[in-house]
Chain A
């Protein structure tokens, strides 16, 4: 069986500076894969490269089709939803408009309204605030909105960049609970980037560790959790 996402020899550049030095990894259909690494390791760059948001070379295949050279918007239209670092909220639009935007490329307009209701059932806070300007939401609410917006695409693959960043631990628990549920029940494959390795390894099945632009370790989440080096440098044991 081919992987849903297949990345080989990915090299990315910011101007003259090379940020990724030949990344290789695979993501199986239906899996929840974690991409771990310290600040500046190249996690964000990796998932930006998948959506062609940074100049890169190498091959990236999604369901066997090459993504390299496609525009960001056409990659998204293939069913790859990207929750960017910093959330990317449309601050001047309402919460509900943000959700509608998530589905803006879908042709099945009839069921969008019911999908929005579904998002409200995942995140009741968003329902309470659905007419409010999205910029007025708290950080945690905006993160939920970003996840919900991404789900409105009915994606095959969801890329999450540090969803836990800046959120209170309790909210993080909630959010990761829902992310896990989406992965199991809605069969959305997920690639989650995290600095909080502990948390990510709890819900992921696969994990890759990235350091200064290179994959330095890969395996099942349980192997990684038990690895001594990882325990020392990422889990603080």
Chain B
């Protein structure tokens, strides 16, 4: 029993990483209706920007804030330059565009900062949290930041006009235009926000997985899985999904014989798919009652 509880705790702490990434995934999904495969790479690049600033002597929190701003603008820029021209192209062509972006960012980051692993600092330290060996203060801090972010997003979408406009543009773009919303800019804004949230995820993850151009590959996959499990349309669902995926992964690694690190991912994915077969809209997804 104690082993079980410990593994759940460990799962929650890795889950916080996935939850944070899943928030970014949901953000972009809301804006553009598909998953951005380059999102992890964008987050990685943001994290390198933060790292570079700290190398230049910028204090942690300043670097944190500046990186978020730069990432927000960068996300908007990427949308305006690369994806707005593809707005009328087929969906699968857009997906190919994400893959292209992935390749470009990964390769450029490798050239600028090379592929050696770099230490990344944590503002929360890494001592045991409340005396537990399983959760460090960094991981507790990460959970805290994720929750704060979730609340901030909730308030933004629920109580601001821009948030409402973004939701409207995401659900029925044509009607959104008919009430005067510039849907094209809402998409750009969604990219900016997703990029900023991705930057936060990257900065929080980096002390755990270390900084290098390929650091986000696995994290993004779990982030996708978490977001899909949560229902893709719900930030709360994404965070819950993130923690569940973390827990699944740890329990599978502990209790299913023969599951090494290698098979954890497929098993976690298989479990998620099983859930989806039963509940195709995810745990917290909209089930819209439609009448015609």
User: Could you tell me if B289 and A77 are in contact, using CB atoms closer than 8 angstroms?
Assistant: no
User: Could you tell me if B167 and A88 are in contact, using CB atoms closer than 8 angstroms?
Assistant: no
B160-181 interface mask toward A, CB cutoff 8 Å, 1 = contact, 0 = none? 0100110110011011111111
User: Could you tell me if B179 and A102 are in contact, using CB atoms closer than 8 angstroms?
Assistant: yes
Name B122-176 residues within 8 Å CB distance of A: 161, 164-165, 167-168, 171-172, 174-176
- Nearest B-chain residue to A91, judged by Cβ: B288
Q: Which residues of A contact B39 (CB under 8 A)?
A: none
User: Could you tell me if A138 and B291 are in contact, using CB atoms closer than 8 angstroms?
Assistant: yes
Kindly state whether residue B183 has any CB partner on chain A within 8 Å. yes
Q: Which residues of B contact A89 (CB under 8 A)?
A: 172, 175
User: Could you tell me if A77 and B167 are in contact, using CB atoms closer than 8 angstroms?
Assistant: no
> Nearest Cβ in chain B — how far from A147, in angstroms?
13
From A76, A93, A142, give the contact of B167 (CB < 8 A): A93
Kindly state whether residue A136 has any CB partner on chain B within 8 Å. yes
> Nearest Cβ in chain A — how far from B259, in angstroms?
39
User: Could you tell me if A153 and B180 are in contact, using CB atoms closer than 8 angstroms?
Assistant: yes
User: Could you tell me if B291 and A104 are in contact, using CB atoms closer than 8 angstroms?
Assistant: no
Name A81-106 residues within 8 Å CB distance of B: 81-82, 84, 88-93, 97, 100-102, 104-105
Q: Which residues of A contact B88 (CB under 8 A)?
A: none
User: Could you tell me if B175 and A73 are in contact, using CB atoms closer than 8 angstroms?
Assistant: no
- Nearest A-chain residue to B179, judged by Cβ: A101
A73-B182, A93-B168 known; A88 and B174 CB under 8 Å? yes
- Bound-state Cα–Cα, A74 to B288, Å: 30
Kindly state whether residue A133 has any CB partner on chain B within 8 Å. yes
User: Could you tell me if A139 and B291 are in contact, using CB atoms closer than 8 angstroms?
Assistant: yes
Name A128-152 residues within 8 Å CB distance of B: 133, 135-139, 142, 149
User: Could you tell me if B288 and A104 are in contact, using CB atoms closer than 8 angstroms?
Assistant: no
Kindly state whether residue B286 has any CB partner on chain A within 8 Å. yes
Q: Which residues of A contact B290 (CB under 8 A)?
A: 91, 135
From A51, A72, A100, A139, give the contact of B164 (CB < 8 A): A100
Name B173-228 residues within 8 Å CB distance of A: 174-183
Q: Which residues of B contact A138 (CB under 8 A)?
A: 291
> Nearest Cβ in chain A — how far from B70, in angstroms?
29
User: Could you tell me if A88 and B168 are in contact, using CB atoms closer than 8 angstroms?
Assistant: no
Most chain B beta-carbon contacts within 10 A, residue among A92, A93, A153: A92
User: Could you tell me if B164 and A101 are in contact, using CB atoms closer than 8 angstroms?
Assistant: yes
A88-B172, A91-B171, A93-B167 known; A133 and B180 CB under 8 Å? no
Kindly state whether residue B292 has any CB partner on chain A within 8 Å. yes
From B164, B179, B286, B289, give the contact of A149 (CB < 8 A): B179
Most chain A beta-carbon contacts within 10 A, residue among B165, B175, B291: B175
User: Could you tell me if B181 and A73 are in contact, using CB atoms closer than 8 angstroms?
Assistant: yes
Q: Which residues of A contact B182 (CB under 8 A)?
A: 71, 73
- Bound-state Cα–Cα, A93 to B164, Å: 9
User: Could you tell me if B177 and A97 are in contact, using CB atoms closer than 8 angstroms?
Assistant: no
- Bound-state Cα–Cα, A90 to B183, Å: 14
Name B72-104 residues within 8 Å CB distance of A: none
Most chain A beta-carbon contacts within 10 A, residue among B168, B286, B292: B168
> Nearest Cβ in chain A — how far from B250, in angstroms?
34
Q: Which residues of A contact B291 (CB under 8 A)?
A: 135-139, 142
A88-B178, A93-B167, A136-B289 known; A73 and B183 CB under 8 Å? yes
Most chain A beta-carbon contacts within 10 A, residue among B180, B181, B233, B290: B180
User: Could you tell me if B178 and A72 are in contact, using CB atoms closer than 8 angstroms?
Assistant: yes
- Nearest B-chain residue to A87, judged by Cβ: B175
Q: Which residues of A contact B180 (CB under 8 A)?
A: 73-74, 76-77, 104-105, 153
- Nearest B-chain residue to A137, judged by Cβ: B291
Q: Which residues of B contact A153 (CB under 8 A)?
A: 179-180
- Bound-state Cα–Cα, A139 to B290, Å: 10
B25-48 interface mask toward A, CB cutoff 8 Å, 1 = contact, 0 = none? 000000000000000000000000
Q: Which residues of A contact B181 (CB under 8 A)?
A: 73, 101, 104-105
- Bound-state Cα–Cα, A91 to B174, Å: 13
- Bound-state Cα–Cα, A73 to B184, Å: 10
* Residues of B near any A CB (own CB < 8 A): 161, 164-165, 167-168, 171-172, 174-183, 233, 286, 288-292
Q: Which 9 A-B pairs have the closest CB atoms?
A: A88-B175, A105-B180, A76-B180, A72-B177, A77-B180, A136-B289, A135-B288, A82-B178, A101-B179
A-B contact pairs, 17 of them (CB 8 A): A53-B174, A81-B178, A82-B178, A88-B175, A89-B175, A91-B288, A93-B168, A97-B168, A100-B164, A102-B179, A104-B168, A105-B179, A105-B181, A133-B288, A135-B291, A136-B289, A139-B291
